[in-house]
Amino acid sequence: MTGGSKGIGYQIVKEYAEAGANVVIASRNMNKCEEMAHEISAIGVKALPVKCNVGNLEDINTMFSIVKKEFNKLDILVNNAGVYQTKPDIKVTENDWDAIFDINLKGLFFCAQNAAKLMHEHNGGRIINMASATGVKPLKRMSPYTTSKAAVIHLTHTFIGMASEWARYNIQVNSIAPGIIHTDINSDELGNKELAAKTLKRIPLRRYGTPADISSMALYLASDAASYVTGQTFYVDGGFLAE
């Protein structure tokens, strides 16, 4: 699990562990990873903390070497690490663009590539990429982020994409596209009453999503119930795309 120390990642790791899975918790914040690994270990599974900046290919390669050494195989990868920024397009810099694409797209791709190599050695696995409903229906002042997430959707299920190419190795690749999810990262922004009033009007269910809404889908995609599902994007957005 990349980006596994907080928010949606934290919730997915917890649900996987409660279902009996050993977990790898990876993020740039090793202290958070270690704290969470200690918490998850109490459930009765093995929890391995790994420091990894997925914007750095050396970190990615090292992470998968550690996973292979500790577990010898990998059954599930959740590509959850991601960053976003709100800024008017006219003020976006090259550094802004590169920072988002290095993690949200390049890092995601090379994590998936490393995972596929390990999975191929052991008769398959599941790769779950975290996209976003804004990759289909962009919001203002988020062009680099929404474009990166549109690319994740495209990469997951296009004809020459991961799902098509790796199906022959029994590797299923799907993506989850959350709508507006209330986490610690955006709590100040979503706590703004004026913004909330405008935003909630765009969501038919009239509420923000929670990390648990996303982790339930991640659990399904990792389970036997999804054994014939690949190349799909699942929009968990409260009806955001229907408006």
145 a catalytic residue: yes
Distance CA 9, CA 2 (A): 7
The stretches of 72-210 forming alpha helices (DSSP H) are 94-101, 108-121, 143-157, 162-166, 187-190, 193-200
Q: Which of 126, 180, 170, 177 is nearest to 152 (CA)?
A: 177
Residue keyed to tokens 């962009």: 138
User: What SS3 state is found at 154?
Assistant: helix
Give me 59's structure tokens: 């970190």
Looking at 10, 145, 208, 235, which residue is catalytic? 145
Are the beta carbons of 3 and 32 closer than 8 angstroms? Answer: no
Catalytic residues: 145
